[in-house]
Amino acid sequence: MTELRPLIEVRHVDKHFASTGTRALKDVSLSIHAGEVICIVGPSGCGKSTLLRTLNVLEPVSAGEVWIEGVSVHARGARLDRLRTKVGMVFQQFNLFPHLDVLENLMLAPLKVLRQPVASVRARALALLDQVGLADKARSRPGQLSGGQQQRVAIARALCMQPDVMLFDEPTSALDPEMVGEVLDVMRDLALKGMTMCIVTHEMAFARAVATRAVFMEAGSIVWQDAPERFFSNPENARLRAFLGRPG
């Protein structure tokens, strides 16, 4: 029954930040199965970004367990770098490589990490740029692009590694309002194509439209999760109701 095995699973995860003395995650468990689109919502500082960052071990956990594609990341000799190639990530601040042009940004990791041949990587990168509507920007530098364009390049860069899961950490929060739409369109497109996604977002309408499961976090814990329809229109949890009822 391999199809039931989650692509990523975290079990009873705790995260302490020693420097600030805060507990960002308290006994959090979550599994992501192939084909799911999970949207994580919650107030600022509730630990949703931290949770997302533990899913590809960018943030090591203080306690609990993380499995990526059935491999425990805590096992001796676990090849974290290898496991991360299966998990794409898109950041709030884009984090494109400013010293490389757009095409080089996409091609760097497939060439250096997967050691794939240049010709096939290049063809895939150009196809992905076309998919996100930036085929004409292949030779531009990130600094010459708008925020929305940069974020679309960042999505294409993560996709160029041909990951099984894509993680999005508030991908539209750093964007001017008029650019939010173009990035959400690319993500909606991706969800329709069947990509497994885990999205931390404040865009409730978008979450409701694309999610297969919605997760509500508060104070480092998962408080409630449900199908998006019930989650947003008829929340059965009082704290979620309060969160959704807040204006904005």
Partner 1 sequence: MRAETSTLRGGWIGHLAAVIVVLAVGLSLYYASRQIDYEWRWERIPHYLVETGGTEITAPFDGTAKLAPDGHSLSLTPLLGGGEPVTVAGFDRIEVSDGDIVFAGNTLGREHGWSAGPLAIGLWMTLKISLVSLVFALILGLVVGLGRVSHRVVARDLAALYVEVIRGTPLLVQIFIFYFFIGTVLSLSAFAAGVAALSVFTGAYIAEIVRGGIEAVPRGQTEAARSLGMSAFQAMRHVVLPQALRSTSPALAGQFINLIKDSSLVSIMALTDLTKAGREVVSSTFSPFEVWFCVALLYLALTGTLSFAVRRLERRMGRHD
* Contacting positions for partner 1 (CB under 8 A): 56, 58, 81-82, 84-85, 87-89, 91, 93, 95-99, 108-109, 112-114, 141, 143, 154, 157-158, 161
Instruction: State the nearest-atom distance from the C-beta of 92 to partner 1, in Å.
Output: 9
Q: What is the rounded CA–CA span in Å between residue 235 and residue 245?
A: 10
Nearer to partner 1, 107 or 179 (CB): 107
- DSSP for residue 60: -
Nearer to partner 1, 200 or 240 (CB): 200
Nearer to partner 1, 108 or 209 (CB): 108
Whether residue 10 contacts residue 61, with contact meaning beta carbons closer than 8 Å, is answered with: yes
Residue placing its CB nearer to partner 1 in the complex, 143 or 247: 143
Question: Helix 118-131 vs helix 102-112: angle between axes, to the nearest 10 degrees?
Answer: 140
Least separation in angstroms between CB 224 and partner 1:
28
Q: 65: how many CB neighbours lie within 10 A of its CB?
A: 14
CA 152 – CA 106 distance, rounded (Å): 11
CB of 116 to partner 1, least distance (A): 12
Among 224, 196, 222, 223, CA closest to 210? 196
The smaller minimum CB distance to partner 1, of residues 76 and 112, is found at 112
Structure tokens at 167: 């993680």
**CA dist., res. 132 & res. 64, Å (int):** 37
Least distance in angstroms from the C-beta of 200 to partner 1: 14
Provide, rounded to whole angstroms, the least separation between the CB of residue 112 and partner 1.
6
